[in-house]
Structure 1
């Protein structure tokens, strides 16, 4: 994943004149003068406008703003002269066209910097050649090359720069000289969003396309037995009713017409798998925690001996429900299957998966499928899957026409791919000196595989440790949900560590710092996290929150997606129950490219983490979700959002993840603060259900 001199190659000047500098996201080689061979490009037009073709899907994480900021910084250009163009899927010339795992900036940081720095060097060389002065005497600033009193704009130099050799190596800016990076920059799509421009997949429209809605089984475990679509086919605007796979698609000329016609279709189902209810899930999860079939994920020392000889043992179990993703924009996609190829347009976090799965479905080469990316109105992991893309592609192939499949909110909430329900059992062994000498964790979940993160803290800090997991297959479909696994595991781990600290008679922050010191001085097994980075965010959060000086404070710290976040929540007890007033977050995600976007990512993660931990609950009866829209599915409300104070650690390392890392620790900090304020331990989500039974 390292860039080298082959990564930056000059390509031909555009017809209107100007410099176009390709920069690769892979190690692919290309020849100068062959623009089609490049993965992405930086261009400087004759009017001085700088453009960057951005390959990564924009899901609200701000990548379309941050990417060009990095190029503009090294290029030394006025930000007002920079624009970004969303690229379509191009697996020959792009690498990692994915919005997921909080990895876009981490992957592209060096490549983008070198692209900007290389262009800047070529512009300097062009100016030096024109002025007949040493290039070392020239400087740049805001899109101009200067030498004493002389200056030339980048636009004036673009043609000449395009004819010069591309330098093999270029110096990058010293980070103390950054002028744009670390500043607050507004999202470049804001004007279009605020004025209602068609940016999102659901906005896409093409003359002559049809609309479709699909009736899927009302419960997981059912299959179609018979379909009576006569009444629907006779309704205005309806073109066809098509049964495929386990679906019935109503196709027509408008969304309203197909929605009304769908209500007229009569479908009879029969059972093909158990129709599970939430009561079944609770029973199964509890049983799995006693299963002899667990898969060992990590074992250090002799845990059994540590628990046999322990002076004190702390035990607790934690459980979370299934959760839908609920992005503001429901699933939708456009597909046009033609004899010569397939065109796909819409919102996807994984365009390559969409292309490959479509090709496999239709039995054609992937090269015959094009994917045009739109901005996404949220995803949170739901759009990592391609099921809704395949629905559109298969339907288009059946009706021989371009079609856009649109899900309603009810479709979106009941259509599956949920965060899996999981239950954890924790045990801690303390010796006579109240030191943590043994630790056991078992995770049990549905369709999740490994429900643990066995190498995360406190692994490496406990002499005797056992972490294992058990998985249960279910007809209820599951998938990644923002900060997969850790979105709930972090709450459980951090709430349990507070219980252990209390049993040991130690301050929760000091307890964690002592464990980290032990891991550093005498590590047990592999250490997969950075001890010093974790300590730094703990200390910063404690300092900024005035830890220990206020009532109702709760602490949490977590490492995920290569970043570290510590939080202190402040809860006030009222007659109506606990009220979250403030969360102080300390974040180490390396260099912060855009202060504005980064701060919003942290605030959004805290709100998301708190809202779902407090209220989110999807239950089932006979295989069917009981919550189908926001009137029955509880989301956080505006007046319940706390103040969020964000502090970034500036340690100078390259950027790491940020879209997800601030969510996992939120549930733990809030639960621990609620205990501090009320004395009530919370071990199940949503917290609201447990708090209903408490008195304050």
Structure 2
């Protein structure tokens, strides 16, 4: 530790190095990298979830300008051309014979999704919070409030679709990417390609998909695989419609919440159940869960368990029970509904439902919603290491002043 007199950054507002270049357009982004001999790739995803590739007619694009090669394995298909616009055109023109599943593998809209989530048997269930006597509190309550909430899948929808450039020159694989976990991509790509880790290098550059488990992972693996196949630098970029459909998403949730009030309008019980469609949650740069691996048929024996979430609050509610459940969708692999971390993981969903319900309880108690919350925050004095109670009280006071 330095003596405080030697600290030069604390208490100052240093200039950000990246702002001037972003303003004047001179910053070089990951999407801007160009290398000698570089070619461009676009993938051809299944037309419907659960489709199986029967055949690819390379002759349908062989005569197109700039055509280099069709790369295909399992249900994964990509077209490579000398220029980007040529690759886009070839991907649209490539004739693929897909066998569609006998029945739709995705649920019919939001109504079908939430109905399925509420009725299906959970893959996992846990009760991390069970304090007081919840059943007794509800039995003796002056008023009971019940509510249900539903939150759909949330896409990252970055300002630019996923992209990466991979260079197999000089006996190593160099990947230019804005993925948030460069070392994880290095490890994952090395395993996926069967290369020594020391021969894989990831160069991080500025880009739009740098937070959460985005499709930047997937694009990096695709570029590296195709580059190894061709022996040339390959730039892979997804199209906007692919990004919207196939990017990893924050999981959908359903909530069933009950609250109990006593005769004085105090909240004496909370019974909270949250279900998430998060089975087979994807980690970062996993060689057996990235989309190209799934489409090629390379996958782990057991999908990741996933997780649900409970309210992240410091309200003093004497009787509280929390049930967290995770459900799996009918199609677990090779699906556009791939779930992964969306910042803050599971926080927006659980906070929206929990705080909306507190508003319902305040209304039922005929209390001001801010005063109702403040009463529960100040009814206890314990706090966590992050001073969550103190900060929550400060936020409410600041909001009241506005």
TM-score bracket, shorter-length normalisation: 0.7 to 0.9
Corresponding position of 1:284 = 116
Q: Would the alpha carbon gap of residues 292 and 240 (structure 1) be closer, same or farther in structure 2, given more than 3 Å must change?
A: closer
Q: Which residue in 2 is equivalent to 1:439?
A: 270
- Once residues 291 and 312 of structure 1 are traced to their aligned partners in structure 2, the CA distance between those partners, rounded to angstroms, is 30
* 3-state SS of paired residue (1:520): coil
The 5-angstrom pairing of residues 244-259 of structure 1 reads: 244-259=73-88
- Select which of 164, 172, 176 maps to 2:4: 172
Greater length-normalized contact order (CA 8 Å, ≥ 6 residues apart) = 2
After TM superposition, give the deviation of residue 338 of structure 1 in Å.
4.7
Deviation at 1:267, TM superposition (A): 1.7
CA-CA distance at 1:528 after TM superposition: 7.8
Q: Secondary structure at the match of 1:509?
A: helix
User: Partner of 1:536 in structure 2?
Assistant: 394
Matches within 5 A, 1:116-515: 170-173=2-5, 181=11, 183=13, 187-271=16-100, 274-278=105-109, 279-287=111-119, 294-338=125-169, 340-383=171-214, 386-447=217-278, 449-453=306-310, 456-458=312-314, 461-474=316-329, 475=332, 476-515=337-376
Contact 2:156–2:247 under 8 Å retained in 1: no
Matches within 5 A, 1:21-170: 170=2
Provide Cα deviations, 1:274-299, integer angstroms capped at 9, x if missing partner.
Answer: 233324312112325x9797321211
Report how far residue 265 of structure 1 moved.
0.8
Look at both structures and tell me which one has the larger radius of gyration over its CA atoms. Answer: 1
Label 1:229 to 1:179 Cα distance change in 2 as closer, same or farther (>3 A): closer
1:392 offset after TM fit, Å? 0.9
Aligned equivalents of 2:77, 2:209: Cα separation in 1: 26
Equivalent residues of 1:200, 1:377 under 8 A apart: no
TM-score (norm 1): 0.50
- Per-residue Cα deviation, 1:195-250 (whole angstroms, up to 9, x for no partner): 32252111111111111011111333223222222121210101001112422111
Q: What is the Cα deviation at residue 252 of structure 1?
A: 0.8
Partner Cα distance (1:193, 1:277) in 2: 42
Query: Does structure 2 retain, via aligned residues, the 8 Å contact 1:252–1:258?
Result: yes
Shift of 1:527: 9.0
Unaligned 5+ residue runs, structure 1? 1-168, 546-696
TM-score under structure 2 length normalisation: 0.84
Give SS of 1:465's match: strand
TM superposition shift of 1:382? 4.1
**1:299–1:466: 8 Å Cα contact kept in structure 2?**
yes
2:269 counterpart SS class:
strand
8 Å CA contact 1:441, 1:467 repeated in 2? yes
Aligned length: 367
Residues 453 and 402 from structure 1, CA distance in 2 versus in 1: closer, same or farther, beyond 3 angstroms?
same
Distance 2:128 2:154 in 1: 25
Shift of 1:320: 1.3
Distance in 2 between the 1:179 and 1:358 partners? 37
Q: Pairwise CA RMSD of aligned residues?
A: 2.6
Unaligned runs of 5+ residues in structure 2 are 280-305
SS at the partner of 1:424? strand
| 1:518 Cα deviation after fit | 1.7
Query: Post-superposition shift, 1:384?
Result: 7.7
Give the conservation status (yes or no) of the 8 Å contact 2:71–2:79: yes
Give, in whole Å, the separation in 2 of the partners of 1:370 and 1:196. 27
| 3-state SS in 1 of match to 2:36 | coil
Within 2, Cα distance between the matches of 1:349 and 1:412?
17
Check whether the contact 2:123–2:327 (CA below 8 A) recurs between aligned residues: no
